[in-house]
């Protein structure tokens, strides 16, 4: 079963009493058949829940209030098979606060030319009813995703699936706890931010613990627990080092960190290499293996990227393509194949590997500790996105860049970390200029499983600014967009 099937989306079909019982019975049958059809399609990652047709403000208020309060309900999908006068929706919508997809579809694909009559048209009038519904959502400024198309069309289903992933991200964002181990790296600006505002906007509870709290857990790990963790490593990774003691220390750190995360119900965490106290190694392999298990992570106190990493991993928990904490590192300005190389000092998630990772122990120039064990590997190729969230002082801004990850044809024998090579769209130069104009961080989250559309929907649900850099980007248009957005977001406040 897909890892996202536990997320439910209620299919709420609007109508009224005007049409009589027979028509409403047919509307219910159609809606049920559509829900069954969507649920049977593996392209739909989540579960659709059929709700009986709503005919008046009491029924609308009841179903939307229940949706608000139901923990499994991740969003509501509305559709007006017939005409549902929108004043009926005002009471319910005024308290509704979950993600809303307004699907403008029709049970029949084609007009039945030889038998169409007024009864048929009164039954199948979503072209009419969904415009009334769209008006009230627009008038009440309720964020809606609108998807139009035939309900059996694979293109429509793919777009529904993308929006569902965004809603899953929003749902998980609201319950996310982020563990800060130490504070931000000294002097660094972009990893800072307003944690209270992030709690209000995204729902993230960001809590700090001292490194000493972790060290107590690290010291308490038993040799048996380390042996168990080493067995896990042996199943997934090849040992490419004689320094087993260093690997065992990472196993010790992983066991301790996992306990800390589980006990505190944390989904994401960060470290800070400047504040390791008595830790003998900066967590490397330990962090990489925790990311593989779905934990969000970022380095140097970057709690925003750690949180985003967790959310993007949960949005794609059923997908093959990996999702990883990433840092822009170095450029390849060769005009034939201009690329950006991303990596981190240790912590690149093995979910993006295209080969079995190796465990290596190599000195680390920064951090002033023992040589840490880490995983190295070549990364997968193919289309991906890079995403980051920055604090603009009066709002959060998400920036997303479409990229094409490249096959690594060159060996890099002296580079002791995993790296990813990508061609950013529309070009290395324009993408870099756009990212920098927008104030994008050097930290980001790379995902082979998401596109800009899911992230745009997520940003809209969370009510934050969204900037997309891709094949369409013209640098001067983008600069204008940034200027306008500054004014718009001031007015929105
Ligand atoms: Mn970094």
- Dump pLDDT digits (tens) for 192-229: 999 999 999 999 999 999 999 999 999 999 999 999 99
Q: How far is the CA of 298 from the centre of ligand 1 (A)?
A: 7
- Residue written as tokens 């289903």? 157
- Residue written as tokens 């509305």? 78
Closest CA to 137 of 128, 146, 150: 146
Would you state the pLDDT for residue 67?
Answer: 98
324 shares a domain with 193 = yes
Structure tokens at 33: 């058949």
Q: How far is the CA of 334 from the centre of ligand 1 (A)?
A: 25
Q: Please tell me the total count of domains within the chain.
A: 2
253 shares a domain with 275 = yes
Q: How far is the CA of 402 from the centre of ligand 1 (A)?
A: 21
229 shares a domain with 317 = yes
Residues found in the chain: 493
187 shares a domain with 156 = no
Q: How far is the CA of 274 from the centre of ligand 1 (A)?
A: 12
38-51, pLDDT tens digit by residue? Answer: 999 999 999 999 99
126 shares a domain with 198 = no
Mean pLDDT score, 111-121: 96
SS3 431: helix
Is residue 386 over pLDDT 70? yes
User: Could you give the percent of the chain with pLDDT greater than 70?
Assistant: 100
d(CA 15, CA 86): 10
Predicted structure pTM score:
0.97
Structure tokens at 41: 């399609």
Domain end call among 118, 148, 173: 173
Q: How far is the CA of 258 from the centre of ligand 1 (A)?
A: 22
Q: How far is the CA of 290 from the centre of ligand 1 (A)?
A: 17
34 shares a domain with 19 = yes
Q: How far is the CA of 267 from the centre of ligand 1 (A)?
A: 20
Q: Could you give the angle at the alpha carbon of 481 between the alpha carbons of 166 and 475, nearest 5°?
A: 105
Q: How confident is the model at residue 366 (pLDDT cuts 50, 70, 90)?
A: confident
- Residue written as tokens 């801004």? 397
The torsion region of residue 439 among left (phi > 0), alpha (psi -120 to 50) and beta comes to left
121 shares a domain with 269 = no
Q: In sequence order, which residues have a C-beta less than 8 Å from that of residue 196 and are 6 or more positions away?
A: none
User: Is position 3 within any domain?
Assistant: no
Rounded to an integer, what is the distance from CA 277 to the centroid of its chain? 33
Give the burial class of 141: count Cβ atoms within 10 A of its Cβ; 0-12 exposed, 13-18 middle, 19 or more buried. exposed
Is residue 346 over pLDDT 90? yes
SS3 129: helix
Q: How far is the CA of 134 from the centre of ligand 1 (A)?
A: 44
Q: How far is the CA of 341 from the centre of ligand 1 (A)?
A: 14
Q: How far is the CA of 200 from the centre of ligand 1 (A)?
A: 26
Q: How far is the CA of 264 from the centre of ligand 1 (A)?
A: 25
Q: Which of the 8 DSSP states describes residue 265?
A: T
304 shares a domain with 247 = yes
Q: How far is the CA of 327 from the centre of ligand 1 (A)?
A: 6
Q: What does pLDDT average to over the chain?
A: 97
d(CA 409, CA 411): 7
Q: How confident is the model at residue 264 (pLDDT cuts 50, 70, 90)?
A: very high
Q: How far is the CA of 444 from the centre of ligand 1 (A)?
A: 9
d(CA 350, CA 233): 12
Is residue 72 over pLDDT 70? yes
Mean pLDDT score, 369-396: 97
What is the secondary structure of 66-127 as a DSSP string?
HHHH-SSEEEEEEE-SS---THHHHHHHHH--S-EEEEE--SSSS--TTT--HHHHHHS-HH
Closest CA to 267 of 225, 229, 315: 315
Q: In sequence order, which residues have a C-beta less than 8 Å from that of residue 295 and are 6 or more positions away?
A: 261, 267, 268, 269, 310, 313
d(CA 401, CA 436): 12
430 shares a domain with 344 = yes
Q: How far is the CA of 306 from the centre of ligand 1 (A)?
A: 11
CATH number at residue 31: 3.40.50.10940
Least confident range of 17-26, 164-173, 211-220, 446-455 = 17-26
The torsion region of residue 214 among left (phi > 0), alpha (psi -120 to 50) and beta comes to alpha
User: Is position 427 within any domain?
Assistant: yes
Q: How far is the CA of 377 from the centre of ligand 1 (A)?
A: 19
Domain end call among 132, 153, 173: 173
Q: How far is the CA of 455 from the centre of ligand 1 (A)?
A: 22
Q: How far is the CA of 287 from the centre of ligand 1 (A)?
A: 14
232 shares a domain with 335 = yes
User: Could you give the percent of the chain with pLDDT greater than 90?
Assistant: 97
Q: How far is the CA of 213 from the centre of ligand 1 (A)?
A: 23
User: Is position 37 within any domain?
Assistant: yes
Would you state the pLDDT for residue 2?
Answer: 85
Is residue 367 over pLDDT 70? no
User: Is position 2 within any domain?
Assistant: no
Mean pLDDT score, 323-350: 97
Q: How far is the CA of 221 from the centre of ligand 1 (A)?
A: 28
Domain end call among 155, 173, 191: 173
276-310, pLDDT tens digit by residue? Answer: 999 999 999 999 999 999 999 999 999 999 999 99
Structure tokens at 354: 């295209």
User: Is position 298 within any domain?
Assistant: yes
Q: How far is the CA of 460 from the centre of ligand 1 (A)?
A: 27
SS3 178: strand
Q: How far is the CA of 441 from the centre of ligand 1 (A)?
A: 10
Q: How far is the CA of 443 from the centre of ligand 1 (A)?
A: 6
Rounded to 5 degrees, what are φ and ψ at 120?
A: -60, -45
Q: Which domain holds residue 119?
A: 8-173
329 shares a domain with 246 = yes
Structure tokens at 348: 């690149």
Q: How far is the CA of 191 from the centre of ligand 1 (A)?
A: 9
Q: How far is the CA of 184 from the centre of ligand 1 (A)?
A: 11
Q: Pairing relation of β-strands 339-343 and 205-209? A: unpaired
137 shares a domain with 189 = no
d(CA 392, CA 478): 17
SS3 58: helix
Judge whether 54 and 14 are in contact, CB under 8 Å: yes
Q: How far is the CA of 321 from the centre of ligand 1 (A)?
A: 23
- CA distance between the termini of the chain: 43
- Residue written as tokens 């800070």? 272
User: Is position 286 within any domain?
Assistant: yes
Helix axes 452-462, 303-315, angle to 10 degrees: 120
Give the burial class of 385: count Cβ atoms within 10 A of its Cβ; 0-12 exposed, 13-18 middle, 19 or more buried. buried
User: Is position 470 within any domain?
Assistant: yes
User: Is position 259 within any domain?
Assistant: yes
Q: How far is the CA of 344 from the centre of ligand 1 (A)?
A: 6
d(CA 282, CA 373): 9
């Amino acid at each position: 079963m897909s890892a996202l099937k536990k997320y439910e989306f209620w299919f709420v079909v609007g109508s009224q009493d005007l049409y009589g019982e027979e028509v409403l019975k047919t509307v219910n049958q159609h809606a049920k058949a559509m829900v069954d059809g969507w649920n049977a399609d593996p392209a739909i990652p989540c579960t659709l829940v059929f709700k009986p047709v709503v005919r008046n403000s009491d029924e609308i208020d009841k179903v939307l209030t229940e949706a608000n309060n139901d923990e499994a309900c991740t969003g509501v999908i509305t559709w007006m098979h017939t005409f549902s006068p929108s004043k009926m929706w005002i009471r319910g919508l005024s308290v509704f606060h979950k993600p809303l997809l307004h699907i403008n579809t029709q049970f029949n694909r084609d007009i039945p030319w030889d038998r169409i009559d007024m009864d048929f048209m009164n039954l199948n009038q979503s072209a009419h009813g969904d415009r009334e519904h769209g008006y009230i959502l627009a008038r009440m400024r309720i964020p809606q995703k609108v998807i139009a198309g035939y309900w059996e069309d694979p293109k429509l289903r793919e777009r529904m699936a993308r929006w569902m992933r965004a809603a899953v991200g929003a749902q998980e964002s609201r319950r996310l706890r982020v563990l800060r181990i130490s504070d931000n790296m000294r002097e660094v600006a972009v990893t800072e931010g307003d944690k209270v505002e992030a709690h209000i906007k995204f729902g993230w509870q960001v809590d700090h613990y001292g490194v000493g709290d972790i060290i107590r857990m690290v010291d308490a790990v038993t040799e048996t627990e380390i042996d168990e963790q080493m067995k896990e490593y042996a199943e997934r990774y090849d040992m490419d080092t004689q320094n087993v003691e260093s690997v065992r220390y990472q196993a010790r750190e992983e066991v301790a960190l996992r306990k800390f995360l589980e006990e505190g119900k944390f989904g994401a965490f960060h470290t800070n290499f400047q504040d390791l106290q008595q830790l003998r190694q900066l967590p490397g392999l330990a962090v990489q293996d925790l990311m593989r298990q779905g934990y969000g992570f970022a380095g140097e106190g970057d709690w925003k990227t750690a949180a985003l990493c967790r959310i993007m991993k949960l949005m794609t928990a059923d997908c093959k393509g990996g999702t990883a904490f990433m840092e822009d590192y170095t450029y390849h300005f060769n005009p034939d194949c201009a690329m950006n190389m991303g990596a981190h000092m240790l912590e690149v998630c093995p979910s993006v590997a295209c080969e079995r990772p190796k465990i290596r122990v190599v000195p680390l120039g920064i951090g002033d500790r023992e040589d840490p064990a880490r995983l190295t590997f070549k990364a997968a190729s193919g289309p991906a996105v890079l995403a980051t969230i920055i604090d603009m002082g009066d709002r959060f801004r998400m920036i997303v860049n479409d990229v094409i990850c490249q096959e690594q044809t060159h060996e890099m024998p002296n580079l002791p970390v995993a790296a990813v090579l990508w061609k950013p769209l529309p070009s290395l130069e324009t993408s870099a200029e756009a990212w920098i104009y927008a104030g994008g961080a050097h930290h980001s989250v790379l995902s082979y499983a998401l596109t800009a559309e899911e992230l745009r929907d997520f940003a809209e649900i969370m009510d934050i600014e969204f900037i997309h850099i891709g094949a369409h980007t013209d640098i001067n248009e983008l600069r204008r967009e940034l200027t306008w957005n500054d004014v718009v977001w001031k007015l929105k406040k």
